[in-house]
Structure 1
Amino acid sequence: MELRTHTDLGEFWAVARPVYLAHPAAHTIALAALEPRLGTPHQDDVGVLITVHEQDAVVGAVFRTPPYPLGLSGLPISAVPAVAAKMRELEPDLPAVNGPTAVAEAFAEEWQTLSGQPWRVERGERLYRLGTLVPPVVRGAARVAGEQDVKLLSLWRKDFFANVLGVDLGLATSEAGLRQALEMGTTVLLWEIDGQPVSCAQATKAVAGMSRVSFVYTPPEQRGNGYASGVTAAMSRWAIDAGAECVVLFTVIDNPVSNAIYQRIGYQPVHDTANVLLRQGN
């Protein structure tokens, strides 16, 4: 087994793309985070890039786009020890990893052996793929968000990260992340009642026929009216109409409301993933 590190995203993507294209749904994070960066001002906003080779064939890949965790969806579990050791050299203060539960936990165990630092699962998530879309009957309508909506969406995004993902973003950081996503081709829909925004969702542009819906958020005072179902279904339809053959989303495993909502409108479970925090010692 041979590991190759890359400093250029274009070079890495040319080598690693077949790994991720093999299963677009399973590799949604890599596809949405990397290919849309090419040719944009964000192409160099990447961290560690590693490909795994056996007998001159590429068999795996990992990547990081700080501040996000090391992405492990393309890592065979047999390569975990070698990649963990390489990451100890390249980024000894690596804060977190994300990937299929078994791979993420195996990496965390190997990291603990190498570093002496315990780990914990911050959040378990379930990947869903859209089957047949079943739009709900919900009052209101969707529209594409524009520049005039950035301030509101930045505030909602900040609240979403805090309340759903447990991540404390400043408002300026939230806006910067939103603008970066828009520059990379993401579309945001707002669900409105009489011209008032009451919910939102976003979807990445299709890469290899795959688009991911995320940032489904309804302010507390507007919940319980089905707006999240409405905007998610509308966002899913938008993705299909924009050329996606595979539409996916993640839910937090221990949130029964969101898991039920998405299954009712046609999403089916694929597999579970884990966001694992490293360096959890004193």
Structure 2
Amino acid sequence: MKLHRFDDASQFYERVKDYLLSQEALHSLLLGICNTLIHNPQFYDCQPYLATVEMDGKIVAVAMRTPPRRLILSKIEDFAAVEAFAQDLHSHHEQLPGVSGLAAEALAFAQAWQAIANQSYKLEMQLRIHQLNKVQPIPSSSGDLRLASEDDYLLLVDWYKAFAIEAFGFVEGNEERKVKHYLSQRSLYLWQDQVPVSMALSRVLTPNSGSIGPVYTPPEYRRKGYATSCVAALSQTLLDQGCRSCFLFTDLANPTSNHIYKTIGYERVGDWNDYCFT
């Protein structure tokens, strides 16, 4: 078993793409980060951590980190790789705020990191990964989906901050840059019912797949079906653009979102957990 680190995102992706694409839904977050690192590296401030663990020339695990964010793990074929990643990060004096990954993988790393770095861990968020291949017909709310524009910039920044506080309990501080980037990529959409009432981000990950999220509806516009209609229409837009599948994450603490996405046609493919280190 051998750990390999990569300094070049393109070389890293060439090495890991077959492994990640073999289970696109489970690896949608990693694929999205690879895409950004290759095509828009200025989006991140620091050099990323990109690594594989291989056995007999075959990848058994992939890890990525874009500081100051958490470490992100792929599906792991041999859990001895968890120890290898933890030892490597600790030997390079990496300060980790946490780890994200499939439930078993994330917990295994959190336990390994606690043993090596003497940092305790806490389960911060339980998420579920969903996949859609066909949009199911649903009653549509009043309004229409539209591409967000520069005129929506200030509104979108406010909504991104509100989403961050609601989802994570804090504002990252880079919402302005995020919104500018996503507007330039034509990735942000709004559901408009005379005024904007819901927001969703879409990204094409590979020629075969796209992802949706975050999705945010201000409190005053909730329980009117706007988010459901927004996600359904945006999912269909991605399929019409050539994607075979769409992926999204839901918070298991929010049963409403898990239910409404199921009615659209999203099905569970895996559970994903976020741990923080203290």
Would the TM-score normalized by the shorter structure come out above 0.5? yes
Q: Deviation at 1:74?
A: 4.1
Q: 1:44 to 1:252 in 2, by over 3 A?
A: closer
Which 5+ residue runs of structure 2 have no aligned equivalent?
A: none
Q: 1:209 to 1:252 in 2, by over 3 A?
A: same
> Residues 55-107 of structure 1: CA distance to partner in whole angstroms, max 9, x if unpaired?
12233211112233111024432311111111112343111111001000000
Supply the distance in 1 between the matched residues of 2:275 and 2:101 (Cα, whole angstroms): 9
> Residues 132-156 of structure 1: CA distance to partner in whole angstroms, max 9, x if unpaired?
3124321111111111112111110
Question: Which of 131, 151, 158 does residue 148 from structure 1 map onto?
Answer: 151
SS at structure 1 position matched to 2:34: helix
Supply the distance in 2 between the matched residues of 1:250 and 1:241 (Cα, whole angstroms): 21
SS at structure 2 position matched to 1:167: coil
Supply the distance in 2 between the matched residues of 1:86 and 1:208 (Cα, whole angstroms): 33
Question: Which of 164, 167, 172 does residue 169 from structure 1 map onto?
Answer: 172
Supply the distance in 1 between the matched residues of 2:83 and 2:37 (Cα, whole angstroms): 29
SS at structure 2 position matched to 1:66: coil
Corresponding residue number in structure 2 for 1:270: 269
Supply the distance in 2 between the matched residues of 1:3 and 1:43 (Cα, whole angstroms): 27
Residues 31, 205 of structure 2: 8 Å contact kept: no
2:106 equivalent to 1:104: yes
> Residues 249-271 of structure 1: CA distance to partner in whole angstroms, max 9, x if unpaired?
00001111111111111111111
Supply the distance in 1 between the matched residues of 2:4 and 2:216 (Cα, whole angstroms): 40
Corresponding residue number in structure 2 for 1:127: 129
> Residues 20-51 of structure 1: CA distance to partner in whole angstroms, max 9, x if unpaired?
11111110001111124324343875411111
Residues 212, 247 of structure 1: 8 Å contact kept: yes
Supply the distance in 2 between the matched residues of 1:37 and 1:82 (Cα, whole angstroms): 24
Q: 1:208 to 1:271 in 2, by over 3 A?
A: same
Corresponding residue number in structure 1 for 2:242: 243
SS at structure 2 position matched to 1:26: coil
Q: Deviation at 1:178?
A: 2.2
Residues 136, 229 of structure 1: 8 Å contact kept: no
Residues 238, 246 of structure 2: 8 Å contact kept: yes
User: Aligned runs of 1:126-275 on 2, under 5 Å?
Assistant: 126-134=128-136, 135-170=138-173, 173-183=174-184, 185=185, 187-194=187-194, 196-275=195-274
Residues 150, 183 of structure 2: 8 Å contact kept: no
Which 5+ residue runs of structure 1 have no aligned equivalent?
A: none
Aligned residues: 275
Supply the distance in 1 between the matched residues of 2:2 and 2:207 (Cα, whole angstroms): 27
Q: 1:260 to 1:39 in 2, by over 3 A?
A: closer
Supply the distance in 1 between the matched residues of 2:75 and 2:186 (Cα, whole angstroms): 23
Residues 10, 38 of structure 2: 8 Å contact kept: yes
Q: 1:117 to 1:5 in 2, by over 3 A?
A: same
SS at structure 2 position matched to 1:257: helix
Supply the distance in 2 between the matched residues of 1:158 and 1:117 (Cα, whole angstroms): 29
Q: Deviation at 1:181?
A: 3.7
Supply the distance in 2 between the matched residues of 1:186 and 1:81 (Cα, whole angstroms): 40
SS at structure 2 position matched to 1:92: coil
Tell me the TM-score normalised to structure 1 length. Answer: 0.92
